[in-house]
């Protein structure tokens, strides 16, 4: 399949900090740019929460209880997942040493295999948790062990994005299996950690100045890997990337006449910013840097934002308040047109391409159910498309895990 791509809670406990003038200025600046909805937790958690990448133990327990009670939409969502190829107990993993991914999946040497094996490991880990059938856990381990024993590199032009996509799914699976099942040998756990640290993290940790969905997906991988590795420095770096990229991906009127530029992007003129925003010259709340490219890539970006914020919330450093206004407006704007509203001539020349995909559940649950925002368009879109399945890239089964999930 040819797929288009582009290139504290912690309070420094026990430490006294002398605020020099430069440091005080930095603290004041951080406070000023905290964004809508509240203050900022400035460092990684002192103790990581496990399982804690995208789904917590409380969320998993809620999911299991709902499915086993036969409640909808969770029962139907589980059935959809269980019937998919990703839940198959006869799946044979297809690891390779070097995964080579070019633009438009050309060449595709292991790209689809890697992404789908990673989604399968996550799918099987969810099936294990819901059913307590150890065969699912063992199959997830088989897939993770197969790749950790073989892969050494990602190459060609889409290597950063490919690494971000697969690297987002692997730690979700590993967190569930490592912390809820006793049958994964420590030596294999350590080997999997080595794979994430040496093969995946270096490819995603420094971000990207390509279209925003690249850096956001890469950052999602980086923060998930950091949690599994319990690497506070990598976690903090991922959060810094997130804080720089989200305001440069979703526009709010308070940004001024033009959208913000991502740190280090070098975009410092109106023409450069307009070109980067696909030629769009009228900016409204919730417009994204890729809306006028197509809704599919926009969905990748919004999904990654939701996933990163969800992981941070589980870890006790809730990033949702910092991005809530941007994310709710973005979800609402894209949902409005996805639901069929006429596209005005000033927006992307009156035409929007493609579709969002199954990407709204996590953000909608957090913003609407937990934080109390009214989100009519997003709610209508989300509920009309349940159960949300998978995009076969890095989004999977989010009606099952996040629909109405209070934890």
Q: What is the dihedral of CA 195, 399, 363, 234, to 10 degrees?
A: -10
pLDDT at 16 > cutoff 70: no
Tokens of 295: 């809704």
- pLDDT of 354 reads 98
Please tell me the distance from the alpha carbon of residue 122 to that of residue 125, in angstroms, as a whole number.
5
Is the preceding peptide bond at 215 cis, omega within 30 degrees of 0?
Answer: no
Q: Confirm if 326 and 247 have CB atoms less than 8 A apart.
A: yes
Per DSSP, which regions of 59-116 are E strands? 98-101, 108-109
What proportion of the chain, given as a percentage, has pLDDT over 90? 88
Q: What angle do CA 306, 312, 314 make, to 5 degrees?
A: 105
The answer to whether 404 touches 59, Cβ cutoff 8 Å, is no
The mean-pLDDT minimum among 100-109, 281-290, 379-388 falls in 100-109
Q: How far apart are CA 80 and CA 140, in angstroms?
A: 18
Give one word for 286, left, alpha or beta, with left for phi > 0 and alpha for psi -120 to 50.
Answer: left
What sections of 207-365 are H helices per DSSP?
Answer: 212-229, 232-249, 270-276, 295-314, 320-338, 361-364
**Residue 104: its pLDDT value, please?**
81
Taking 90 as the threshold, does the pLDDT of residue 351 lie above it? yes
Q: In this structure, how many other beta carbons lie within 10 angstroms of the beta carbon of residue 163?
A: 25
Name the phi and psi angles at 22, rounded to 5: -60, -40
State if pTM tops 0.95.
no
- Flag the least confident range among 40-54, 169-183, 348-362, 380-394: 40-54
State the pLDDT at residue 105.
81
Say yes or no to pLDDT of 21 above 90.
no
pLDDT at 40 over 90: no
Higher pLDDT, 6 or 142: 142
> Measured between alpha carbons, how far is 77 from 127 in angstroms, rounded to an integer?
12
Say what percent of the chain tops pLDDT 70: 90
pLDDT value at 25 more than 50 = no
Per-residue pLDDT at 113: 98
Query: What's the pLDDT band for 45 if we cut at 50, 70, 90?
Result: confident
pLDDT score of 43: 76
The mean pLDDT of the chain is 91
Structure tokens at 402: 């996040």
Q: Does 42 have pLDDT greater than 80?
A: no
The residue-averaged pLDDT of 280-294 equals 98
CA distances from 59 to 130, 315, 375 (A): 11, 13, 22
Task: Give the CB-side neighbour count of residue 190, counting CA atoms within 13 A.
Answer: 3
Burial 164-180 (b: 16+ CB within 10 A, else e): bbbbbbbbbbbbbbbeb
b/e sequence 87-97, b meaning 16+ C-beta within 10 Å = beeebebebee
Omega cis (within 30) before 398: no
pLDDT digits (tens, 9 = 90+) for 249-268: 999 999 999 999 999 999 99
Residues 6+ apart with CB under 8 A from 275: none
Per-residue pLDDT tens over the stretch 179-225:
999 999 999 999 999 999 999 999 999 999 999 999 999 999 999 99
Average pLDDT over residues 82-98: 98
């Amino acid at each position: 399949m040819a797929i288009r791509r582009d290139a504290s809670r912690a309070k420094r406990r026990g430490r006294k900090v002398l605020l020099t003038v430069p440091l005080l200025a930095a603290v004041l600046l951080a406070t000023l740019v905290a964004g809508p909805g509240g203050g900022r937790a400035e460092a990684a958690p002192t103790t990581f929460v496990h399982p804690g990448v995208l789904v917590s133990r409380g969320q998993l327990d809620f999911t299991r209880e709902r499915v086993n009670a036969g409640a909808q939409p969770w029962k139907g969502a589980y059935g959809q997942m269980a019937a998919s190829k990703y839940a198959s107990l006869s799946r044979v993993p297809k690891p390779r040493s070097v995964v080579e991914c070019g633009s438009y999946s050309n060449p595709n040497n292991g790209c689809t295999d890697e992404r789908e094996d990673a989604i399968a490991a996550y799918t099987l880990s969810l099936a294990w948790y819901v059913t307590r059938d150890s065969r699912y856990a063992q199959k997830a381990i088989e897939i993770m062990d197969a790749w950790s024993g073989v892969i050494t590199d990602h190459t060609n032009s889409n290597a950063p994005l490919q690494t971000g996509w697969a690297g987002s799914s692997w730690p979700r699976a590993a967190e569930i299996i490592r912390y809820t099942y006793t049958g994964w040998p420590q030596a294999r756990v350590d080997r999997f950690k080595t794979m994430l640290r040496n093969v995946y993290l270096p490819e995603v940790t420094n971000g990207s100045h390509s279209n925003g969905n690249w850096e956001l997906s890469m950052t999602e991988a980086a923060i998930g890997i950091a949690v599994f590795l319990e690497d506070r420095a990598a976690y903090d770096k991922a959060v810094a990337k997130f804080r720089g990229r989200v305001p440069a991906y979703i526009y709010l009127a308070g940004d001024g006449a033009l959208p913000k530029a991502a740190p280090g992007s070098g975009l410092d003129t109106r023409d450069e910013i307009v070109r980067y925003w696909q030629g769009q010259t009228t900016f409204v709340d919730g417009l994204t840097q890729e809306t006028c490219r197509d809704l599919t890539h926009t969905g990748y970006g919004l999904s990654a934002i939701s996933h990163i914020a969800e992981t941070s919330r589980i870890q006790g450093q809730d990033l949702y308040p910092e991005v809530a206004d941007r994310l709710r407006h973005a979800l609402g704007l894209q949902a409005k047109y996805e639901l069929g509203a006429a596209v005005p001539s000033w927006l992307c020349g009156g035409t929007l391409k493609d579709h969002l995909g199954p990407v709204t559940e996590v953000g909608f649950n957090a913003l609407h159910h937990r934080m109390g925002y009214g989100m009519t368009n997003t709610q209508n879109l989300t509920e009309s498309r349940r159960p949300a399945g998978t995009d076969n890239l890095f989004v999977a089964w989010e009606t099952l895990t996040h629909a109405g999930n209070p934890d």
